Amino acid sequence: MSESYSINTDTGLIAPARQCPSPNCDDRPNDGSPDLLVIHGISLPPGQFGGPEIEQLFTNRLDWDAHPYFAEIRGLEVSAHLLIRRDGKLVQFVPFTQRAWHAGASSFRGQDCCNDYSIGVELEGEDEMPYTDEQYTTLTGASRAIVTAYPVISGREIAAHSDIAQGRKTDPGPAFDWLRLYDGLC
């Protein structure tokens, strides 16, 4: 049985996510409402799962000297609205009412600065490794709640990080099953 997800559109918080506030966010321009959902993939260090490093990165608490890879991203200030762990657990870093810093230099259908008008969802994983059943269950439930709370987002307004940052990003990669997500939203 899957969990029930609900969004308070006043606070921008989704239940039952665990809240882990990130300072890497700001106000959306013109108090805009999100109309794009961006799917990402992340692992820190690369190829390792389950540790605290993603949360530490998104909350500016990562020990840059703890792993050689971290030297490449030293000083990075990023976030996402949501993280879905390999076990399907949901963590919220930024309310949907605010702009999370997840997309970087980006464009979708001719509109630049995707952070301004999107919701960023990170899946703990790698481009070439299948995502888990638990992640798809959580992603589908959370996406349904997002589409209900923000009806301008539909199947046509869901994109990969690689779609909005072409040539710069590859996630969530070929291992992500788009049809499984779309079928779950029907």
Residues marked active site are found at 122
Task: Let me know: does 54 contact 125? Beta carbons within 8 Å.
Answer: no
Angle at 39 between CA 35 and CA 40, to 5 degrees: 135
Strand partners, 27: 98
* DSSP string over 64-94: TTSSGGGGGSTT-----SEEE-TT--EEE-S
Task: Let me know: does 17 contact 95? Beta carbons within 8 Å.
Answer: no
Residue 117 and residue 34: Cα distance in Å, rounded? 5
Task: Let me know: does 83 contact 58? Beta carbons within 8 Å.
Answer: yes
Element (H, E) at 179: helix 178-185
Q: What letter represents residue 3's amino acid?
A: E
